[in-house]
Amino acid sequence: MKTGKVYLVGAGPGDPGLISLKGLECLKKADTIIYDRLLDEGLLDSAPPEAERIYVGKTAGKHTRPQAEINRLLVTRAREGKTVVRLKGGDPFVLGRGGEEAEVLVQNGLYFEVVPGITSAVAVPAYAGIPVTHRGLASSFAVITGHEDPGKDSSSINWEKLATGVDTLVFLMGMKNLPQIVTRLIEHGRPPDTPVAVIKDGTNPEQKTVMGSLRDIVAEVKKHRLTPPAVIIVGEVARLREKLRWFDNRPLFGKRILVTRARHQASALSQLLAERGARPIELPVIAIQAVADTDDLDQAISNLKRYHWIIFTSVNGVAAFWQRLYELKLDSRALSMLKIGVIGPATAQALEAKGIMPDYIPEVYTGEGIIAGLKKQNINGQRFLLPRADIADKELVQGIGQLGAEVHEIAIYHTVPATETIAQAKQMLLAGEIDVITFTSSSTVTNLVAAFSGEPPTINSAKIACIGPKTAETAARAGLKVAIMAREQTIPGLVATIEEYFKKEI
């Protein structure tokens, strides 16, 4: 029987972007993942859907599974011939018991590899604007457990030498023992006015930092009601936070922003929000479905030479149209005789991915913008093909028609409510857990509002952000108070406007 292999993988301190490329490669081929607390479970999405996922997280005083059982799991799954990823927060060999697990694997004659991770001892201070070393302030640092094995007869930490022998001290898992840590350091010669930083939930959008000195840090932590997990930094470098703070002073830091657009489109918006410090919450209120009856579209495709123009008003329209071309064993060459227009940059990029550069992009990325631009072109008597959603309004059709052109509108995809995630979004809104709701289409507004049975004031507890005037009009008609409307009707434009809004509040 084939013997499996265990990868001891460090996932980093919390921010999922801090895992290594090799760590992700291990996840992609895993048969079993045995994972800890304090890591972003979104990392598990990198593994095959069929991979076994076993949670073995630990909190203070409570272990989901004892270490001995974790060791047995590693051995059992590897002997079954599986590729096992032991996914650990931070680095597996920095106060992570990875060495103990490796010893067990060696004792059982099993193959293993260690994939180092970024330890919270360095990353968490960095995200708080605190370098653990700095010229003129600190040439050395030590990483110390703040929670020694309770079964030990005495402490293995040499407090006398540690207190004054190392410039920067980083304590992990030390919140419960903070008073004792402070007492020991002062007793052994560390000045009471030494700066101290205590950082909770480091590298995450919930990160919170409390500053003080050895003299008063215990009182400060109590005043701010800080709870584990936290990293404790003792040393002069902590003073640099005031100057080097970069992560938790961004305008969107910690803002919980609801992303309501369809799941396959949500990532671009979520990524931009996350880069600005927000916590995007992806709960799509719409889903995109292809139309069942494609006769009209097939007929239009077979007669493309009859048209002068084709206008795409969304990325979804481009995707649905090309899917049908593919099913009819055609490709982009079928559009070679047409002029092609798009509503904005995102739709243009989707088209360019198909190997086609659009002939026309309006200056303003709306239906009105398309019409305004076409007024400058002689389209009288020309035929337009308009493939788009079944619920699109008639403004564009009527506007082009008024310019003397003939418009053939075809519904090529449906926008339907995403019932399950709408229910989750409603629950979070009722609980006051959302700071901003983003609406990127009228259908996202309609579907979410419908879930509240005509009670928009509940939604208005969050700031309403709309991608453009049409969406904002739909929101206003539904009784919503629109606080933010993108100046440029694009996803980057929406994010930029949200950021500007909160900058004014700082």
AA identity, residue 452:
F
List of long-range contacts for 404-407, beta carbons under 8 Å, 24+ apart:
404/379, 404/380, 405/309, 405/374, 405/379, 405/380, 405/381, 406/381, 406/382, 407/383
Contact 384, 413 (CB under 8 A): no
Nearest-angstrom CA–CA distance, 261 and 390: 17
Active site (annotated) includes residue 428: no
Q: Collapsing DSSP states into helix, strand and coil, what is residue 48?
A: coil
Nearest-angstrom CA–CA distance, 432 and 459: 9
Active site (annotated) includes residue 22: no
Q: Which of 82, 173, 200, 248 is catalytic?
A: 173
Q: Which residues pair with 232 in a beta bridge?
A: 171, 198
Alpha helices in 157-251 (DSSP H): 159-165, 178-187, 217-223, 241-244
Q: Which of 58, 176, 339, 354 is catalytic?
A: 58
Active site (annotated) includes residue 36: yes
Sign of the Cα pseudo-torsion (40, 210, 236, 171, in order) = negative
Looking at residue 265, the DSSP 8-state letter turns out to be H
Looking at residue 261, the DSSP 8-state letter turns out to be S
Q: Which residues pair with 385 in a beta bridge?
A: 310, 408
Q: Which of 15, 36, 40, 91 is catalytic?
A: 36
Which position has the token pair 């007929």?
Answer: 299
Catalytically annotated residues: 36, 58, 173
